[in-house]
Structure 1
């Protein structure tokens, strides 16, 4: 075997070894990212999860188109995790939480299950569900801070990952003042879940987001107002008893 042939053979072998190592490395990194994603969303392979659908209170039980888009965003996440989804209407989902991962779309005015989760898991959140027009319609109250709806200009949404215990599957809430805010929160989660997983791991968190100028930008421009987990999970102080 001449030196030239030997060099060619060695080059082919080296290229094959490098390609194999590269494939194994990429496969390992992909699987590790997938496991982290599955752990964050509580979606092991072939597991079941719940998508709880709200109803647009301004229609005859229809789902708002922005909430449909939100459900599509969530369905893509579930598919990526190789899990299965069960879609439930908010008024028939009478079961506990923690056995399956759950994605709950809509505020308490359009989703009874969201209202139940807020009362049980986030007692520090107060949301005005009065349908009558007024400056406080759909306003969020978090501690001493109030966040009012400015339609098309500034719309707020709570994005929460909640667990009842260490071993329970998470509940994700997308609780917006309008349907477009629900979609914005699901899109924010889909784009930033890796960063959120690094920061919060598998613990509970509640973020307050603001959708900026949705009449021009739709659900794409989102500002993080802050992490309001402690405030949202702390019950408000009991009112002083009346004295005679």
Structure 2
């Protein structure tokens, strides 16, 4: 009887120890993943962040364009997972400088004042053309001497950036696109690839990625391609870029 009990007890104990060890390993891995994500987004538990969007010009009241609203919902899920607290603010509301808290700035830089200011200050190598009196060419990106003009519904571009500046060191995330569907596509790319991006750039890294949204008329924000990492060209001071062009 004692031998039988021993034969049953030893495997059971080994199984329990194995399960406990496996749970501990998985828990530690999950904690490391969450910590890496919190560091990447600058969102430690209990911290605050701000989601900045522009108003829907087609509405008489303050409302958010549909694709921008869905983009903000995707970001809100990330913020909640990190244990942080979001605030939504319109682009034309006076906000403090950047760096004190994480900021997500989503919209069209030709209509979004704060986003346009961030591009001027943090991405001086990017020019966004306002278009002619008929609106032709509006939103066209010029980066490092290359021009990216949209074909509405067929081919549209968006910049996805993580930048750090100002006191406090918290990052600013930009989704600056040519149409609202591209803003949602950029946020999706950020959310879906956050683990890979966090592993690559860490808590201190900066990047500016140019993404291309293909056939949004048929597929919405689902088909997204990385055109290039334009960090170097986008962050280059205008005068330096001009000297290079002259050379």
Provide the TM-score with structure 2 as the length reference: 0.92
- State how far apart, in whole Å, the 2-side matches of 1:159 and 1:4 are: 64
- State how far apart, in whole Å, the 2-side matches of 1:131 and 1:2 are: 92
**Could you say which residue in structure 1 is the equivalent of 2:47?**
47
Equivalences for 1:1-244 in 2 at 5 Å? 1-60=1-60, 61-130=62-131, 132-164=133-165, 168-202=169-203, 203-237=205-239
- State how far apart, in whole Å, the 2-side matches of 1:52 and 1:186 are: 13
The CA deviation string for residues 89-145 of structure 1, in whole angstroms up to 9 with x for no partner, is 111142100000000011222211101101111111100134744542210010210
Q: Is the 8 A contact 1:108 1:129 kept in 2?
A: no
Deviation at 1:53, TM superposition (A): 1.5
Name the stretch that deviates more: 163-172 or 186-195: 163-172
Q: Is the 8 A contact 2:98 2:166 kept in 1?
A: no
Name the stretch that deviates more: 12-21 or 229-238: 229-238
- State how far apart, in whole Å, the 1-side matches of 2:131 and 2:56 are: 15
Unaligned runs of 5+ in 2: none
Q: Is the 8 A contact 2:98 2:167 kept in 1?
A: no
Deviation at 1:167, TM superposition (A): 5.3
CA distance 1:166–1:17, change in 2 (3 Å): farther
- State how far apart, in whole Å, the 2-side matches of 1:215 and 1:225 are: 20
Q: Is the 8 A contact 1:207 1:226 kept in 2?
A: yes
- State how far apart, in whole Å, the 2-side matches of 1:111 and 1:137 are: 14
Provide the TM-score with structure 1 as the length reference: 0.93
The CA deviation string for residues 57-89 of structure 1, in whole angstroms up to 9 with x for no partner, is 444353110000000000000001011011111
Name the stretch that deviates more: 16-25 or 205-214: 16-25
Q: Is the 8 A contact 2:176 2:183 kept in 1?
A: yes
- State how far apart, in whole Å, the 2-side matches of 1:131 and 1:66 are: 26
- SS of the residue aligned with 2:208? strand
Taking only aligned residues, the RMSD between alpha carbons, in angstroms, comes to 1.8
- State how far apart, in whole Å, the 2-side matches of 1:39 and 1:141 are: 32
